[in-house]
Amino acid sequence: MSGQHGEIRRIVVAVDTSADSLAALHTAVGLAAGLSAELHGLFVEDANLVALARLPFAREVRLSAAPRRLEPEAVEGQLRRLAAAARRALEREAASRQVACTFRVARGQVAREVVAAAGEGDLLILGRVSRPILPGGPFGSTARAATAQAVSSVLLLQRAAVVGRPVVVAYDATPLARRALALAARLAHLQEAPITLLLPPLAGGERVAVETAAAEALLPTRVDFTLRPLPRATAAAVAAAVGELEGGLLVVGADTILLAADELPALVESLTCPLLVVR
Partner 1 sequence: MVDPLSPDALYRRCDLFKLDFATTDELPDLDGVVAQERAVEAVRFAIGVRRDGYNLFALGPPGSGKESVVRQFLERRAAEEAPASDWCYVYNFAQPHRPRALHLPAGHGAQLRDAMAHLVEDLRGGIRSAFESDEYRVQRQAIEAEVKEQQERAFNEIQEAAKEKEIAVVRTPGGLAFAPMRDGEVISPEEFQKLPEADRKRVEEEITAFQERLQAFLHQVPQWERESRKRVDELNREVALFVAGPLIEGLIRRFEGVDGVKGYLERVRDDVVDHVEELQKSEEGEGPATAVLPLPGLAAATPFFRRYQVNCVVEHDGTDGAPVVYEDNPTFQNLVGRVEHMAQMGALITDFNLIKAGALLRANGGYLLMDARKLLTQPYAWEGLKRALRQRQVKIESLGEMLSIVATVSLEPEPIPLRAKVVLFGDPYLYYLLCHFDPEFAELFKVAADFDDRMARTDEGEALYARLIATLARRYHLRPLERAAVARVIEHSARRVEDAERLSVRMAGVVDLLGEADYWAGEAGHETTTRDDVQAAIDAAIRRADRLRARLLEETERGTLLIDSTGSAVGQVNGLSVIQLGTFAFGRPSRITARVRLGEGEVVDIEREVELGGPLHSKGVLILAGFLGGRYVTDRPLSLHATLVFEQSYGGVDGDSASSAELYSLLSALSGLPLRQSLAVTGSVNQRGVVQAIGGVNEKIEGFFDLCAARGLTGDQGVLIPAANVNHLMLRHEVVEAVAAGRFHVFPVATIDEGIELLTGLPAGERDGDGHYPEGTVNRLVEARLAELAELRATFARRHDDPDEGSKGDRAAGGGEPRGEEGEATCSAQRSAFSAQGRALGGGEGGRQGEGRGGGV
Q: Which chain residues interact with partner 1 by CB under 8 A? A: 46-49, 51-52, 54-63, 66-68, 70, 75, 78-79, 82, 109, 131-134, 136-138
Closest CA relative to residue 244, chosen from 226, 259, 263, 260:
226
Cα–Cα nearest to 156, from 139, 141, 171? 139
Minimum distance of partner 1 from residue 260's CB (angstroms): 23
Is residue 239 within 8 A of residue 120, CB to CB? The reply is: no
Q: Which is nearer to partner 1, 55 or 163 (CB)?
A: 55
Q: Find the shortest distance in angstroms from Cβ 259 to partner 1.
A: 23
Q: Between 134 and 261, whose beta carbon lies closer to partner 1?
A: 134
Q: Between 132 and 164, name the residue whose CB sits nearer to partner 1.
A: 132
Please report how the helices 19-35 and 72-96 are oriented relative to each other, as an axis angle in degrees rounded to 10: 30
Q: How many Å apart are CA 60 and CA 66, to the nearest integer?
A: 9
CB of 67 to partner 1, least distance (A): 5
**Is 101 or 267 the residue whose CB approaches partner 1 more closely?**
267
d(C-alpha 251, C-alpha 257), whole Å: 13
Determine the Cα–Cα distance for residues 109 and 194; give it in Å rounded to an integer.
Answer: 40
Q: What are residue 51's phi and psi, to 5 degrees? A: -65, -45
- Residue closer to partner 1, measured from CB, 56 or 204: 56
The rounded radius of gyration (Å) of the Cα atoms in the chain is: 20
Least Å distance, CB 62 to partner 1, is 4
Least spacing, CB of residue 57 vs partner 1, in Å: 5
